[in-house]
Amino acid sequence: MKKVLNFILIFTMALMVGCGKKENKINIIDDDYRNYYEIFVRSFYDSDGDGIGDIKGIIEKLDYLNDNDYETKKDLGIDGIWLMPIMPSPTYHKYDVTDYYSIDPQYGTMEDFEQLIEKCEERGIKVIIDLVVNHSSAKHPWFLSAKKSLPIEPCGQEVCTHEELCREHNKYIDYYNFSQERKSGYHSVGMPSGWYYEGVFWDQMPDLNLDNPEVRNEIEDIGKFWLEKGVAGFRIDACTSFYTGNTTKNVEFLKDFNDRMEGYKEDVYIVGEVWADANTVSQYYKSGADSFFNFPFADTTGRIVSTIRGRKGAAFSKALEDWQKKIKAIDKSAIDAPFVSNHDNGRSAGFLAQNEVSMKMAASLYQMMPGNTFIYYGEEIGMIGSGRDENKRLPMLWSTTDKKGITNAPPNADYKGTIDTGVAEQEKDENSLLQFYKDIIRIKNENPEIQRGEITSIYLGNEAVCAYSLEYEGSKVYVIHNLADKQVELDLSGDEYSKLKIRGELTTDDGKITLKKGKLTMPSMSTTILK
């Protein structure tokens, strides 16, 4: 079980949420629960004018994410950053690594990265990085060395007698899965003919042989290297592909890696990508890894969007309770990882038809789920993009008029992804989507029960209303979403609710949330937090 730091920082601030002014205390707990922000470095902010985002650009924009001053409302309130791959790679996306111990020169230097970690630590931000260990690049020195040795017959000697190492003596042969039989997912090595290698995703991404103890030791060394550099943990890519179609072996590998990392850094945070159905995702919690992305609730067909479209709030709260029970039954320390879209999905603003009310309500639904939520950069300003992957990773729009720091689009992007307002414009609008995200995160930072609490679904007599309580260390808050197309009046006259007060309000129009004499009135598509 992870060590939880019991250091609590209390700050007092006046908070304006929705249409009501609430004065509450910020209550930041330094543990594994965070509000994460996913960054594709290439498209985030360009500090040197070469058209490519970089690490120095993230440093320049840290105040946008977290200005280290809880008295202000200028920042998002982020306290966790997930960096998509930053290691050297021949591709724009960098999911095919050529050196696991360096920073891609397009993004900067190791000194830049160390400075980023230092600046984040000053703000209480934990940084996790993408770790791609299912495969390497076909241009990785390991793979290139192995290819050279394939045609050289074993010499049969204790020490290789060939100028180039033969197949018998080159350890990198066993770093990959080579075969003289062409199997599904295998590609020809080229010369010499008759040799093939596994590369399930692409011929430029040869799969690593994760059954090889030396490969596992190498991956352990890689993890330790980056933990030593100051990262808080890792997002593990492609967990279902370690051993394609074999959940048991995938979980075993993850458990081995997780155990090794915890042995080095007790409070390391690991979140895995298991793009699968609910039953499959839940099984990966047997690995002991902290979190797995909640794909069943995400994307255009997930429960969050279907709840908004169908206005089935009561069913959503029951599904939340069931999901938490499911994963906690497997690992009581499990931390859910809700999101609405990421770098592999069409952007949420697109599949929500750029309807601001729907975008705000989707944000409210998933951000109020217990666990670690993950915002995909630009989601908070309604960026759009779909189709080919490059379109989902377009430049962050800092302003519609000032182009400073705005990057070039990734190569082969064929979609402009135009929106009417960027960060600069939305910061001036109290009713903007960006301001709504700021308000949500501030409410969460006031109420640690939301992320950490045990959920209990509550039915308030209306199928369009989602209601549940979240209890953490003897303290309980209530979250209520009205998904109806009209105002609702809810009966909260029971003894359980008699002392509750409005703790936070999130409204998508000019309506007002009130709680008087046991009657809670909520406008359409709104959220309230009671305590």
- What is the distance in angstroms between the CA of the first residue and the CA of the last residue of the chain? 29
Confidence bin at 22 (pLDDT 50/70/90):
low
For the ranges 19-28, 50-59, 474-483, the lowest mean pLDDT is seen at: 19-28
Q: Which residues contact 287 (CB under 8 A, 6 or more apart)?
A: 251, 252, 254, 255, 258, 272
Distance (Å, rounded) from C-alpha 295 to C-alpha 276?
7
Mean pLDDT computed over 484-501: 95
- Are 530 and 503 in contact by the 8 Å Cβ rule? The answer is yes
Mean pLDDT computed over 464-471: 99
Mean pLDDT computed over 492-509: 95
In the chain, where does the domain assigned CATH 2.60.40.1180 lie?
453-530
DSSP state of 495: G
Mean pLDDT computed over 354-380: 98
Instruction: Please give the C-alpha separations between residue 478 and each of 464, 472, 497, in angstroms, as whole numbers.
Output: 16, 12, 9
- Are 398 and 423 in contact by the 8 Å Cβ rule? The answer is yes
Quick one: pLDDT at residue 73? 84
Q: What is the pLDDT of residues 421-457, one digit of tens each?
A: 999 999 999 999 999 999 999 999 999 999 999 999 9
- Are 247 and 280 in contact by the 8 Å Cβ rule? The answer is yes
Instruction: Please give the C-alpha separations between residue 21 and each of 314, 499, 505, 513, in angstroms, as whole numbers.
Output: 28, 19, 9, 12
For the ranges 5-19, 24-38, 72-86, 94-108, the lowest mean pLDDT is seen at: 5-19
Please tell me the number of Cα atoms within 13 Å of 422 on its side-chain side: 17
Residue 463: is its pLDDT beyond 80? yes
Confidence bin at 121 (pLDDT 50/70/90):
very high
Angle 356-367/303-310 helices, nearest 10 degrees? 130
Which runs of consecutive H residues, i.e. helices, occur in 188-332? 213-228, 247-264, 278-283, 303-310, 313-330
Quick one: pLDDT at residue 6? 40
Quick one: pLDDT at residue 160? 75
Question: For residue 360, how many other CB atoms are within 10 A of its CB?
Answer: 27
Q: Is the domain 31-135+214-446 a CATH 3.20.20.80 member?
A: yes
Quick one: pLDDT at residue 155? 76
Instruction: Please give the C-alpha separations between residue 295 and each of 99, 281, 304, 342, 417, in angstroms, as whole numbers.
Output: 30, 8, 10, 10, 24
Burial 163-177 (b: 16+ CB within 10 A, else e): eebbbebbebbbbbb
Kindly state the tokens that stand for 313.
């709030």
For the ranges 141-145, 157-161, 179-183, 513-517, the lowest mean pLDDT is seen at: 157-161
Note if the bond before 370 is cis, omega within 30 degrees.
Answer: no
Q: What is the pLDDT of residues 312-339, one digit of tens each?
A: 999 999 999 999 999 999 999 999 999 9
- The percent of residues above 90 in pLDDT, for the chain, comes to 87
Quick one: pLDDT at residue 168? 77
Per DSSP, what are the bridge partners of residue 456? 469
Please tell me the number of Cα atoms within 13 Å of 340 on its side-chain side: 30
Quick one: pLDDT at residue 19? 38
- Are 313 and 481 in contact by the 8 Å Cβ rule? The answer is yes
Distance (Å, rounded) from C-alpha 286 to C-alpha 263?
18
Residue 17: is its pLDDT beyond 50? no
Which residues are marked as active site?
237, 273
Which residue, among 86, 83, 103, has the nearest Cα to 38 in the 3D structure? 83
Query: Using CA of residue 268, residue 32, residue 57, residue 360, what is the dihedral sign?
Result: positive
Q: What is the pLDDT of residues 370-400, one digit of tens each?
A: 999 999 999 999 999 999 999 999 999 999 9
Average per-residue pLDDT in the chain? 94
Q: What is the 3-state secondary structure (H, E, C) of 80-130?
A: EEEECCCCCCCCCCCCCCCCCCCCCCCCCCHHHHHHHHHHHHHCCCEEEEE
- Are 381 and 354 in contact by the 8 Å Cβ rule? The answer is no
In the chain, where does the domain assigned CATH 3.20.20.80 lie?
31-135+214-446
Q: Is 387 helix (H, G, I), strand (E, B) or coil?
A: coil
Q: Is the domain 453-530 a CATH 2.60.40.1180 member?
A: yes
Residue 1: is its pLDDT beyond 60? no
Residue 16: is its pLDDT beyond 50? no
Distance (Å, rounded) from C-alpha 445 to C-alpha 205?
41
Q: What is the pLDDT of residues 26-57, one digit of tens each?
A: 988 999 999 999 999 999 999 999 999 999 99
Q: What is the pLDDT of residues 155-169, one digit of tens each?
A: 777 787 766 886 877
Residue 70: is its pLDDT beyond 90? no
Q: What is the pLDDT of residues 266-315, one digit of tens each?
A: 999 999 999 999 999 999 999 999 999 999 999 999 999 999 999 999 99
Quick one: pLDDT at residue 23? 52
Residue 193: is its pLDDT beyond 80? no
